[in-house]
Amino acid sequence: MKRDTGLPNGSDVVVIGGGFHGMSSAYHLASCGAKVTLLEAEYCARHASGVNAGGVRTLGRHHAEVPLARASLDLWHRLPELIGEDGSFVASGQFQVAESPQELDKLRGRVAALNALGYTHEVIVDAQQVREIAPRLARHVVGGIWVKDDGHAVPFRAVTAFRHAAQRLGAQIHEATPAQTIERVGDQWCVTTPHGVFTAPWLVNAAGAWAGELAAQAGDSVPMKPGGLMLMITQRVPHFIEPVLGAAGRPLSFKQFANGTVLIGGGLRCEADVVQRHGDVDFFRLPSSAKTVTDLFPHLAGINVVRAWAGVEAFMPDEIPVIGMSPRAPQLVHIFGFSAHGFELGPIGGRIVAELVLEGQSSLPIAPFAVDRFASVTAR
Ligand SMILES: Cc1cc2nc3c(=O)[nH]c(=O)nc-3n(C[C@H](O)[C@H](O)[C@H](O)COP(=O)(O)OP(=O)(O)OC[C@H]3O[C@@H](n4cnc5c(N)ncnc54)[C@H](O)[C@@H]3O)c2cc1C
């Protein structure tokens, strides 16, 4: 039985969530000729995808994510030909520094393991090369890993670029339209919202920190936990570094924008309120990050932090996402749980969704991201 919703239905796919992965899904599906309706509870890129650090990083990825991250990076480099604009991507390079010989040994081990798998994008650099890449770094830094084709982008601009491309291809976007319930009726998904019921044979669950609840409605319970992540930004200082910087031994994500401000973050956790839909900045936890920065760049001691904010992110216990078809509900694709590093994967995430919907399989290895990999945990 198909419900009469009174809405302009006839879509092939309803995508829930206007973050990067939902928007990229809408774009890739529409570019293959699918009729797409995207539902966003608030406004597109309101949450993690629009407020993150903008790090486009393949460096340091879980081995299972490396093929996806490299394929995504290729798309980042080709955004103008793909979506007609560069999404603000800058190929600045990314750098992970070692602050002791032991840390450098660990990094060498990681790069050797990657090389054994056939990946050569992460390269070990010594103390001298470190100074060439980042001359103002503290003298105790002994080396690090360098990925020259990584970079950064302004999150809201990147997602909006995909939005414009998706809309040019006919995707319908409904903001302020939260999906309240999802239900399979006959050969259709029925998504109930305050503005009516949207139907389509295919459904994509890209609802970020709220995706676990929707997955559970379809019978796919996952141990996903929403959490907050914080960032802070400083006053403008004279330009001193080009690449994005992380540290091997402590959490750090650090970059300087063209306007001179410095963005500081990197796994700075805080509380998230998913009911009120926001993260709460915990000012007591910010100083540890500030100290990491001044340890690595002593010349920044004394500069002012002018703003701090928190975003809401979906965390999985194994810190890799859920990407794939529901094993229980027909024609349902899940893509969520990016555990603080899903921005870089945005361009490829949507392509994988389009492949699953239109071809029934992904050209990239996604078995490690199966939604039911926690089945024994959730059963307990
Ligand atoms: C502070 C911070 C810094 C980060 N830094 C980086 C970084 O440097 N590099 C990196 O790669 N990653 C980073 N990340 C992680 C990255 O931002 C996320 O992994 C990624 O944006 C997740 O995208 P998403 O589309 O899955 O989720 P989201 O961006 O959360 O989008 C989900 C959307 O779904 C909507 N939604 C939820 N429920 C419903 C519903 N029922 N109906 C309709 N819509 C709904 C939400 O409103 C939201 O807009 C960071 C995250 C944060 C918070």
Q: Does residue 82 fall inside a structural domain?
A: no
Q: Is the CB of 207 under 6 A from ligand 1?
A: yes
Domain count of the fold of the chain? 2
Comparing 214-223, 256-265, 369-378, which segment has the lowest mean pLDDT?
Answer: 369-378
- Residue 120 CB neighbours (<10 A): 9
Same domain, 236 and 299: yes
Domain boundary residue among 315, 340, 365? Answer: 315
Same domain, 164 and 296: no
Q: What is the bridge-based pairing of β-strands 196-200 and 123-126?
A: unpaired
CA of 225 to the centre of ligand 1 (A): 13
What is the position in ligand 1's atom list of the atom closest to the CA of 23? Answer: 25
Same domain, 139 and 272: yes
Q: Does residue 66 fall inside a structural domain?
A: no
Q: Which residues pair with 200 in a beta bridge?
A: 189
Q: Hey, what are 14's tokens? A: 């309803």
Q: Does residue 65 fall inside a structural domain?
A: no
Question: How far lies 191's CA from each of 185, 195, 222, 288, in Å?
Answer: 10, 10, 20, 44
Q: What percent of the chain has pLDDT over 90?
A: 93
For 140-179, letters b (16+ CB in 10 Å) and e give ebbbbbbbebbbbbbbbbbbbbbbebbbebebbbbeebbb
CA of 162 to the centre of ligand 1 (A): 15
Same domain, 287 and 176: no
Q: Is the CB of 319 under 6 A from ligand 1?
A: no
Q: What pTM does this model have?
A: 0.96
Q: Is the CB of 49 under 6 A from ligand 1?
A: yes
Same domain, 197 and 311: no
Q: Does residue 336 fall inside a structural domain?
A: yes
Q: Is the CB of 189 under 6 A from ligand 1?
A: no
Q: How far is CA 363 from the centre of its chain?
A: 20
Q: Is the CB of 40 under 6 A from ligand 1?
A: yes
Residue of 121, 100, 142, 96 lying closest to 266 (CA atoms): 96
- Do residues 296 and 245 touch, judged by C-beta distance below 8 A? yes
pLDDT, tens only, 312-363: 999 999 999 999 999 999 999 999 999 999 999 999 999 999 999 999 999 9
Quote the pLDDT of residue 117. Answer: 97
Query: Is pLDDT of 5 > 90?
Result: no
What is the position in ligand 1's atom list of the atom closest to the CA of 229? Answer: 1
Q: Is the CB of 53 under 6 A from ligand 1?
A: yes
Q: Is the CB of 266 under 6 A from ligand 1?
A: no
Q: Does residue 80 fall inside a structural domain?
A: no
Query: Is pLDDT of 108 > 60?
Result: yes
Q: Which domain covers residue 245, as residue numbers?
A: 94-148+225-315
User: What's the CATH code of the domain at 328?
Assistant: 3.50.50.60
> 3-class secondary structure for the chain?
CCCCCCCCCCCCEEEECCCHHHHHHHHHHHHCCCCEEEECCCCCCCCHHHHCCCEECCCCCCHHHHHHHHHHHHHHHCHHHHHCCCCCCECCCEEEEECCHHHHHHHHHHHHHHHHCCCCCCEEEEHHHHHHHCCCCCCCCCEEEEECCCEECCHHHHHHHHHHHHHHCCCEEECCCCCCEEEEECCEEEEEECCEEEEECEEEECCHHHHHHHHHHCCCCCCCEEEEEEEEEECCCCCCCCCEEEECCCCCEEEECCCCCEEEECCCEEEEECCCCEEECCHHHHHHHHHHHHHHCHHHCCCCEEEEEEEEEEECCCCCCEEEECCCCCCEEEEECCCCCCCCCHHHHHHHHHHHHHHCCCCCCCHHHCHHHHHHHHHC
Domain boundary residue among 262, 295, 315? Answer: 315
Domain boundary residue among 263, 288, 315? Answer: 315
Quote the pLDDT of residue 7. Answer: 46
Q: Does residue 277 fall inside a structural domain?
A: yes
pLDDT, tens only, 148-207: 999 999 999 999 999 999 999 999 999 999 999 999 999 999 999 999 999 999 999 999
Same domain, 248 and 307: yes
Q: Does residue 367 fall inside a structural domain?
A: yes
**Best substitution site from 14, 37, 43, 47 to test ligand 1's pocket, by max atoms within 8 Å of Cβ?**
47
Cα R_g (the chain), whole angstroms? 21
Same domain, 132 and 244: yes
pLDDT, tens only, 259-316: 999 999 988 999 999 999 999 999 998 988 889 999 999 999 999 999 999 999 999 9
Same domain, 216 and 241: no
Quote the pLDDT of residue 40. Answer: 98
Same domain, 124 and 230: yes
Q: Is the CB of 39 under 6 A from ligand 1?
A: yes
- Residue 2 CB neighbours (<10 A): 11
Q: Does residue 300 fall inside a structural domain?
A: yes
Quote the pLDDT of residue 327. Answer: 97
Same domain, 300 and 258: yes
Same domain, 130 and 234: yes
Same domain, 240 and 300: yes
Q: Is the CB of 265 under 6 A from ligand 1?
A: yes
User: What's the CATH code of the domain at 286?
Assistant: 3.30.9.10
Q: What percent of the chain has pLDDT over 70?
A: 96
